[in-house]
């Protein structure tokens, strides 16, 4: 028999409703753990509570084929208006090229942008990542320190009605980070893909009026690096699916460029280029301690080979681009 109790408590002048659902008395025994979701603008981390690392880290973006959108204008009258969108989540889902597939970001700059794709991401994680059914474990979802009440309610509704979870709770990411370090009071600095938060936590509660948000993150460096390569170095970044490689009789690899397949959406092309640029950033860019003597590090060079065989050479720019997080772009030239 399902027992649902609702409790209300007052936190910093607003009411937060906690919904506890219990299927039987064994639900909250020591052997039962919960499933934790931590969704960001770049990746989605999921795993079991009490473990040190997440079980799965996948892109938070989801591939979507709009079945209600006419693929050919001549066939506009023959499309099925009742057809549902088809979603592709996970590493192999969103990174594989498909005709007319758009890349939808489920979470961007602290906000959920599309709950249909978010539901597809959750179902993929439960079924293919964790390999458990969603109605077996309580669900804990982290949320940004600057949240929207309507989105919190929509996420709670989706968890109970679509995923049928037995219990649901949401907690701010800053509080979870504070508890993970064994403290109840601290100053948390959250640096994500597109935003950075300064979050003061006191006795397990976020001081909401003191939270500072700055729209600079890891993907800001990725976009700046791609801009530097394409506009300053004038070298094109082409996705991997635009090339074919063959081996010659002397075991030499020959890479041949092919045109980008038709029916490839612009969003998927940009997503593929950012994936390559992100790999360049993670392998080439570096933080140095002495910024004033950056020129002395010019001998520390790095190279990167693009999918078409082009060799990129980086000197001091590999140090200047990461300094955008600390100097607000003072050292990085603006191509615009």
Mean pLDDT for the stretch of residues 27-32: 49
Checking if the pLDDT of 94 tops 60, the result is: yes
pLDDT above 60 (res 82): no
pLDDT score, position 329: 52
What confidence category does residue 214 fall into, taking pLDDT thresholds of 50, 70 and 90? confident
Mean pLDDT of the chain: 82
Higher per-residue pLDDT: 155 or 308 = 155
Q: Minimum mean pLDDT among 122-131, 201-210, 288-297, 303-312: which range? A: 288-297
Q: What angle do CA 95, 99, 100 make, to 5 degrees?
A: 95
Query: CB-based burial of residue 141 (10 Å sphere; 0-12 exposed, 13-18 middle, 19+ buried)?
Result: buried
Residues facing residue 244 across a β-bridge: 256
CA 123/CA 108 separation, integer angstroms: 20
Query: Collapsing DSSP states into helix, strand and coil, what is residue 244?
Result: strand
> pLDDT band for position 241 (50/70/90)?
confident
Decide which of 256 and 160 is more confident.
160
Question: Could you tell me the pTM of the whole model?
Answer: 0.80
Give the whole-number percent of the chain exceeding pLDDT 90.
52
Residues 6+ apart with CB under 8 A from 226: 237, 273, 274, 277
Distances (CA, A) of 172 to 201, 204, 250: 10, 10, 58
Say if residues 33 and 50 touch (Cβ distance below 8 Å): yes
Q: Is the pLDDT of residue 13 over 60?
A: no
Q: Indicate the pLDDT class of residue 31, thresholds 50, 70 and 90.
A: low
pLDDT of residue 10: 32
pLDDT tens sequence across 258-284: 788 889 999 999 999 999 999 999 999
Reported confidence tier of residue 157, pLDDT bands at 50, 70, 90: very high
Q: Say whether pLDDT at 295 is over 80.
A: no
pLDDT of the residue at 318: 87
The residue among 64, 71, 36 whose CA lies nearest residue 50 is 36
């Amino acid at each position: 028999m399902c027992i649902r109790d609702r409790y209300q408590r007052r936190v910093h002048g607003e009411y937060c409703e906690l919904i506890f659902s219990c299927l039987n008395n064994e639900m909250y025994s020591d052997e039962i753990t919960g499933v934790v979701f931590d969704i960001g603008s770049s990746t989605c981390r999921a795993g079991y509570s009490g473990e040190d690392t997440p079980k799965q880290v996948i892109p938070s973006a989801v591939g979507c084929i709009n079945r209600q959108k006419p693929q050919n204008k001549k066939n506009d009258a023959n499309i099925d208006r009742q057809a549902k969108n088809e979603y592709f989540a996970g590493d192999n889902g969103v990174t594989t090229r498909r005709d007319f597939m758009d890349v939808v970001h489920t979470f961007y700059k602290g906000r959920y942008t599309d709950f249909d794709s978010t539901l597809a991401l959750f179902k993929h994680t439960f079924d293919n990542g964790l390999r458990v059914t969603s109605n077996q474990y309580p669900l804990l979802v982290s949320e940004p320190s600057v949240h929207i009440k309507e989105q919190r309610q929509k996420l709670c509704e989706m968890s109970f009605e679509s995923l049928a979870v037995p219990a649901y709770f949401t907690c701010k990411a800053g509080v979870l980070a504070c508890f993970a370090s064994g403290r109840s009071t601290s100053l948390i600095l959250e640096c994500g893909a597109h935003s950075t938060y300064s979050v003061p936590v006191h006795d397990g509660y976020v001081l909401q009026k003191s939270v500072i948000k700055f729209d600079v993150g890891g993907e800001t460096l990725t976009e700046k690096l791609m801009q530097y390569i394409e506009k300053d170095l004038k070298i094109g970044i082409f996705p991997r699916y635009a090339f074919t490689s063959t081996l010659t009789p002397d075991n030499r690899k020959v890479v041949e460029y092919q045109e980008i397949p038709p029916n490839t959406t612009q969003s998927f092309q940009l997503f593929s280029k950012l994936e390559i640029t992100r790999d360049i950033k993670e392998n080439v860019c570096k933080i140095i301690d002495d910024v004033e003597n950056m020129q002395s590090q010019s001998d520390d060079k790095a190279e990167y080979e693009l999918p078409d065989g082009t060799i990129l050479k980086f000197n001091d720019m590999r140090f200047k681009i990461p300094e955008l997080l600390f100097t607000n772009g003072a050292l990085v030239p603006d191509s615009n």
